[in-house]
Amino acid sequence: MQGAYKPAKPGRRATATGGAPAQGRELRAQGKRTLAKLLSAGLRVFAERGYHVARVDDIVRAARTSHGTFYLYFASKEDLLRALAIECAAEYEALAGDIGEIDSSPEGAAEAERVVSRFFAIYRQYGPVIRAWMEDQVTEREVSRLGVEAFTHIATTFASRLRRVGAPHDDATIGVLMALLERSAYYQVSRASNAGDADAAVTVARTLHRGFFTAAA
């Protein structure tokens, strides 16, 4: 049954009879290790092949475990995507909560670079997850909302920084800023090699800092 499968609501069993994803239960040390292995393998494989093309088989092979084990921890392939989406949203929330002061000074530029750089790093890790949730492949509405919220949080934080500096911070401006951030990350991740990440971050950060934080000067 392949396509016929529907995602489990978290905390409930996948089907009437079988499948008990381990995210509800208490996990012992070994269980936690396996869960982590699967999550990171999933991330890697989704990144390499894309969510749709990725096979559960690829994932378990990458995690050096078995099909059976996979379904001990996740109710379905989509359930793994869900778990990763939650992780990703958490990362972006953390970033949002951690954006320092950004003013027109060199220190402000440095902070901007740090933020952009971290934004890119997360995007590089979770790119396919983000794309999947953007394309409504995450059936669970609540999960895709997490992503939107995290991005919104980042956007409002930037707005507050712009306000302090006295720079324009209306919705349209913020929209452009976020578009710049996202698209740059996207291009960086999808086109270039890992190597250029730092450089690209520097360039984008400079553009962002000059264009939005010092333009008023």
Residues forming contacts to DNA in the complex (CB under 7 A) are: 1-5, 14-15, 17-19, 22, 25, 27-28, 30-31, 33-34, 54-57, 65-73, 75-78
CB-hemisphere CA count at 13 Å for 82? 20
Nearer to DNA, 9 or 55 (CB): 55
Q: Using CB under 8 A, which of 98, 107, 135, 142 touches a copy of itself?
A: 135
3-state SS string over 24-60? CCCCCHHHHHHHHHHHHHHHHHHHHHCCCCCCHHHHH
17 binds a copy of itself (CB under 8 A): yes
Residues 32-51 interacting with a copy of itself (rule: CB under 8 A) = 50
User: Going residue by residue from 93 to 132, which x/- string records binding to a copy of itself, judged by CB under 8 A?
Assistant: --------------------------------------x-
From DNA, a copy of itself, none, interface partner of 25 (C-beta below 5 to 8 A by class): DNA
**Interface with a copy of itself, residue 190, by CB under 8 A:** yes
Torsion of CA 79, 84, 87, 89, to 10 degrees: -100
The listed partner (DNA, a copy of itself, none) that binds 203, CB under 5 to 8 Å by sort, is: a copy of itself
Contacts by residues 164-172 (CB-CB < 8 Å, ≥ 24 positions apart): 164/101, 164/103, 165/102, 165/103, 165/104, 165/108, 165/213, 165/216, 166/216, 167/212, 167/213, 167/215, 167/216, 168/215, 168/216
Residue placing its CB nearer to DNA in the complex, 22 or 205: 22
Say if residues 104 and 217 touch (Cβ distance below 8 Å). Answer: yes
Beta-carbon neighbour count of residue 60 at 10 Å? Answer: 21
CA distances from 31 to 26, 36, 38, 88, 147 (A): 9, 9, 11, 21, 27
Q: How many residues bind a copy of itself (CB under 8 A)?
A: 37
28 binds, among DNA, a copy of itself, none (CB under 5 to 8 A by kind): DNA
- For a copy of itself, the closer CB: 57 or 101: 57
Q: Decide: is 142 part of the binding site for a copy of itself (CB under 8 A).
A: no
Could you tell me if 61 and 48 are in contact, meaning their C-beta atoms sit under 8 angstroms apart? no
Q: Which residues bind a copy of itself (CB under 8 A)?
A: 1-6, 14-15, 17-18, 50, 52-53, 55, 57-58, 131, 134-137, 172-173, 175-176, 178-180, 182-184, 190, 203, 206-207, 211, 215
